[in-house]
Amino acid sequence: MQYELTTPCTAADLAPLKAGDTVLLSGVVYTARDQAHKRMLEALDKGEKLPFDLEGSAIYYVGPTPERPGEVIGSAGPTTSGRMDAMSPRLLDLGNKIMIGKGKRDAAVKEAVVRSGAVYLAALGGAGALMAQSVKTLEVIAWPDLGCEAVRRLTVEKMPLTVILDAHGGDLYTSGPAAYLETVK
């Protein structure tokens, strides 16, 4: 199935999604990689406010390249999501609903996705130029000293994504290969 979603999203918005579905995502998406995640957790530990509201948020694990003249963003391909695994469950428990990246996630992230009614979506690795075409506006909103890892607020339109982890425990990295093997028996 293919779905069109607009952020912010609720657990009810995401409940129909199943691992393997495609999503065209529009609305506000925040960028945050390793260093931004570390700073967000440090801020939470100090009781400080985060640079954006986690409730219903979408976080894209990307460190975009500089934009060319006349472009909103440079190449915007996903980074490996596993590097955020230790930090993601806490953000999910605080309201983050969509994570976007590439690669497998650990058991704690999978449990937090189900517990919080969230999803993990994959962006096409190696297709940063394609992903960038969905970005309509960009604003650095926190930690510009992190360079490409600064937190950015993107406005996206119909960003093409695939559901990897759904809120019901579905995992495309498990079900996809199993389904394929059934077809070659």
Please give the Cα distance from 122 to 83 (Å, whole number).
15
How much helix, strand and coil, in percent to the nearest 5, is found in the chain? Answer: 30, 30, 40
- Summarised one tens digit per residue, pLDDT across range 11-24 is 999 999 999 999 99
The tens digit of pLDDT for each residue in 28-70 reads 999 999 999 999 999 999 999 999 999 999 999 998 888 888 8
**What's the pLDDT tens digit per position in 91-119?**
999 999 999 999 999 999 999 999 999 99
Check residue 68 and give its pLDDT: 86
Residues belonging to the active site: 37
> pLDDT > 90: what percent of the chain?
83
Mean pLDDT of the chain: 94
**Distance between CA 125 and CA 120 in Å, rounded?**
15
Q: Which domains does the chain have, with CATH numbers?
A: 2-184 (3.20.130.10)
The confidence band for 177, taking pLDDT boundaries of 50, 70 and 90, is confident
